[in-house]
Amino acid sequence: PDRNPVVRRAEPPSREERHPVPAAETRGTVDQLSAIAMLIRVVGRTGRCDGEVRVYDARQVTDFRVRSVGVERFQDGQALRCLVETRIVAGARLDRDPVEAARPQPVTAWIASPGPGLPPVPLRIELTSRWWGGVTATLTGAERLP
């Protein structure tokens, strides 16, 4: 109710040691799924993906900044191309260089309705992972549930 998250248990438990996350840094944060839902709602309402949100996943706090880059041809139609910049602000792993941990990470998302009567969702997401290199996630199907 006061927009201050309380971590009762994190599953799976964190295996790496991290810098502490001050309570002040978590105030007003949302979880990752809520952040995606907020983005989808904004795109559905405005046709753009501009905004900021602070995310807390029980381990670290990350700032997300999103901006529209334009509409592009995508598969059989068009999609809004959004650039997302993520930046860890608290809770980075102790074994990582703090300058590297704070460096913004770019993500590109293409958002559109996957079919008639369906809301806009990320159809494709591309990012560069610090651990795995390039990562691409592509939506392969969607349907409206009764």
pLDDT tens for 54-88 read: 999 999 999 999 999 999 999 889 999 999 999 99
Q: What is the pLDDT of residue 1?
A: 62
Q: What is the pLDDT of residue 9?
A: 84
Q: What is the pLDDT of residue 13?
A: 77
Q: How far is 67 from 76, CA to CA, in rounded Å? A: 24
What's the gap between Cα 143 and its chain centre?
A: 23
Kindly report, residue by residue over 13-27, the tens digit of the pLDDT: 778 899 999 999 999
pTM of the model: 0.84
**Encoding tokens for residue 32?**
């990752």
Q: What is the mean pLDDT of residues 119-131?
A: 89
